[in-house]
Amino acid sequence: MKLQAKCQVCGAKNNWVPSQANIKGKLLWSAGYACDSCGNQMEIDDIGFMPIELRKMIFDRDGKFSIKAAERIDDISSVKIKQILRREFSLDLIKTKSICVNNHSGFLSGTYTEMSWLRSILDSLHLSLAIERTDDAGDEILDLISLVK
Ligand SMILES: [Zn+2]
């Protein structure tokens, strides 16, 4: 997907403005623009993860975030988190093992909305999970998108 869109009415170039939402445990995204020249409005949306280019725009605009255990986490809870992630993303064993859950650093990174969506998925475990801004340090934390096929 190109970051610029040609207006279907007047042909002027406009920048897509991406957004994401976590609604009732569903991750949604949309992108739209109001044409600078003629005011024509355009919007596209879908369920799931947004195209990579739009996701990069969100990182540039809002920063990168990660999710971590807010307090010391025992092995059983760590395993339960991985079980839910494994089910949600249909992960194989190797990928599941690559997720490192502890209370020192985040175990997955992404946009703020993705992290809050992830927290809502893990809600049933009643664990204290924190979302924190990571930015550059977030590059060392497994990107949520790497779990998605
Ligand atoms: Zn236009």
CATH number at residue 17: 2.20.25
CA 23 – ligand 1 centroid, Å: 31
CA 38 – ligand 1 centroid, Å: 4
CATH number at residue 113: 3.30.1390.10
CA 142 – ligand 1 centroid, Å: 40
Entry pTM? 0.91
Give me the residue label for tokens 């992830």: 118
* Domain range enclosing 21: 4-50
pLDDT digits (tens, 9 = 90+) for 53-109: 999 999 999 999 999 999 899 999 999 999 999 999 999 999 999 999 987 889 999
Asked if 46 and 20 sit in the same domain, the reply is yes
Quick check: is 141 in a domain?
yes
CA 55 – ligand 1 centroid, Å: 25
CB-facing half-sphere around the CA of 48: CA atoms within 13 A: 9
pLDDT digits (tens, 9 = 90+) for 12-51: 999 999 999 999 889 999 999 999 999 999 999 999 999 9
Q: Which of 107, 102, 42, 114 is nearest to 74 (CA)?
A: 102
CA 9 – ligand 1 centroid, Å: 5
Domain count, the chain: 2
Quick check: is 97 in a domain?
yes
Asked if 73 and 122 sit in the same domain, the reply is yes
Quick check: is 44 in a domain?
yes
